[in-house]
Each structure stands twice: as C-alpha cells, then as structure tokens.
Structure 1
C-alpha cells in the first residue's frame, strides 16, 4: 500500500513485521474517515470513539462502525488494560507492512476500491506537495526532500524499495515511544520509469 501507512502502522527497530495483503484490508482503507482515524491514531496515539469523534468532528455511532471495520481488517486493536465498561481504547496495530494484492487476484469491485483509495491518496499527496512547497523555507529543517535519477533493473528497483521499507521500519515508532522533541513526519517514496 503506501509508505505513509507503513510509517503510521510500522514497528520500531527489532519488532516483528507482518505483511498484510488481503482485499479486506483494501476495503477497510478505501474510506476517507477510516484513513483519518488511522492518521489520528498514528499521530496522537490511543483514543476512544468519544475522543476520536471530538477530534474528527464525527458522531460516536459513526466512529464506532468505522472502528469495527478497521478492527476486522486487523488495522487497529483495542487496549483491554485501558478499557473500562463500555469505553474501549483503540490503537493502530504496530508492525504491519500493508501491500496491495496483485491485480489479477482482485475482483472488479475490489479494483474499483483500489482506484478510489488511489484517488484519495493522490489528493492527499498533492496537498502535501503544495504544503511542502509553500512552507519548506520556514520549516526550520523539519521538511526535507530529494529527487534523483538512476538507471536500475527491475530487480534493483525491487531491492531499493525493500531497503526503503527496512529503513522505515528502523525509524518507525508511535507517539507512545517517541522522544519528547519528536514530531509526526509524513514520508513518501515512489519510483517510476522516466519515459
């Protein structure tokens, strides 16, 4: 899936990684509110449906439904030791490497969901690029970017991608483990033939 999702859900150094590539995960991700829930949990840490409803401007009934969908897909989990009575605390599942199932294994409906997820991610990425361009000069070093060109074989591109994922896993941690001076940082990588 996206490296952002891997970063938000990723494991810290030495933690076990688990690859997830089912159509159910794709379906769970192909909804804007669910993406916002995952982003919020990734940025701020565990939350209840009530605190999420307040933070995201939604009602608790709507949030509860979408939390159940994310839980069924294995993207979030409740924290039994923090939950009391009817109030459940949720956190993103750590150590997930979310990958898109091969196109040949998807139904037409699942391919349509994948297209919708791509559209939502593209809109988000374009907005992040606008923000980067507008604010990089005043970010005090918090915004970094790089562009490059290399001549690679497909095997080398695959290796580069795997190395990138390993690097993400090495630096990935949630808000609970982050030092006081850490900030959530969105990361992107993509490679494509130059023409």
Structure 2
C-alpha cells in the first residue's frame, strides 16, 4: 500500500510542540484504542479506558492539536464527535541540540513511556511466541553500517511499514492489530 497519487506522502511530525501531545500515558492509550478498534467518541473511549468523558475530551483536544487524531468525516454532528487516528504520519524526534531543557524533559518522558511499553512487549513475545500460532514473528541481526546506511535502512523500514499500514476500518475480516518495533544502535 505504498503512497499513490491518491495518497499523499507521509506527513512528518517532529516539532517539540506536537510531540508534547504524545508525552502522556492516557494519550498513548487513546491512540492505541483508536488504532486497534477504529473510530470512537469520547464516551465510548471513556468506557473502554475507564476514564471520565471530561478527562478524555481534554486529552483528545491535545492529540488533535498535535495532529495525531481528527474528526471522522460524515460521522461528527450534534453533540457527539467521532475521532480517528490520523494515518500516514512519520514521527521523528528533533535533534537533541535543537531542544530546550524543557523539551528534552518532555522527550525523555515520552522515551520512558515508550520504553516501558517496549519492555512489556518483549516480555510478552518471549512468553507467548511459541503458542501464538504464527501471529508473533521476530528477527535479530548484526550488520556493519555507516551512519548514512543506517538512515537508509530506517527510511526503508518506514516505507515497508507504510506499504502494509492500514487501519481497522480498511482491514480484512481475518486481520488483527499487530504491534511492530524496530531500533538500531551501535554494538560497540
């Protein structure tokens, strides 16, 4: 499902103000719920996440301001607002040297929350992969790359994600939401 003439190239998000919208555990849960189950109202999200609608409405506005969620065309009207996760976003962190101390603290909090989630996913993979009936796949590797090659690899990975990316409303009946992770770091 690579970008076509109908599908614009990914919108890159990397400014600290937008990324600040992600640095809250409830907002990450909201994005996960919209990404796995599809469009929802603040009422349905509140029920699903065990929160009150006022709290959800505030955090939904923050995610909207950051460009991560949007109204569902044709479904929002009256007092009920339907939300969906924005597709085709390339989230990149800004270079450390361009951040203020406050922005570095926000990025650090976002990194901490993501790390906790990733550690939980790695534990789950280790414990459940054998019984997953092929639904859990993984790979580890070592290569010798230049910094430019690592950047090229990362961009190719993002393109691969875009190729296979779709939301719950576009998925076939036998599809399941699948969490994917990749990171590269020097071994020495």
Query: Would the aligned equivalents of 1:80 and 1:88 in 2 still touch at CA under 8 Å?
Result: no
Q: Within the alignment, does 1:105 sit opposite 2:98 as a pair?
A: yes
Q: Which residue of 1 aligns with 2:128?
A: 135
Aligned length: 184
Rounded to whole Å, the distance in 1 between the matches of 2:172 and 2:84 is: 18
Q: Within the alignment, does 1:25 sit opposite 2:18 as a pair?
A: yes
Q: Within the alignment, does 1:176 sit opposite 2:169 as a pair?
A: yes
Of 76, 96, 104, the residue aligned with 1:83 is 76
Q: Which residue of 2 aligns with 1:5?
A: none
Query: Would the aligned equivalents of 1:20 and 1:96 in 2 still touch at CA under 8 Å?
Result: yes
Of 53, 68, 74, the residue aligned with 2:61 is 68
Q: Which residue of 1 aligns with 2:151?
A: 158
Rounded to whole Å, the distance in 2 between the matches of 1:152 and 1:23 is: 29
Rounded to whole Å, the distance in 2 between the matches of 1:33 and 1:173 is: 23
Of 2, 23, 36, the residue aligned with 1:13 is 2
In the superposition, the TM-score normalised over structure 1's length comes to: 0.92
Gapped runs of 5+ residues in structure 1? 1-11
Query: Would the aligned equivalents of 2:13 and 2:19 in 1 still touch at CA under 8 Å?
Result: no
In the superposition, the TM-score normalised over structure 2's length comes to: 0.95
Q: CA deviation at 1:13?
A: 2.8
Q: Which has the higher contact order (CA 8 A, sep 6+)?
A: 1
Rounded to whole Å, the distance in 2 between the matches of 1:168 and 1:142 is: 17
Q: CA deviation at 1:123?
A: 0.7
Rounded to whole Å, the distance in 1 between the matches of 2:146 and 2:77 is: 54
Q: CA deviation at 1:80?
A: 4.1
Q: Within the alignment, does 1:47 sit opposite 2:11 as a pair?
A: no
Rounded to whole Å, the distance in 2 between the matches of 1:72 and 1:117 is: 17
Gapped runs of 5+ residues in structure 2? none
RMSD of the alignment, in Å? Answer: 0.9
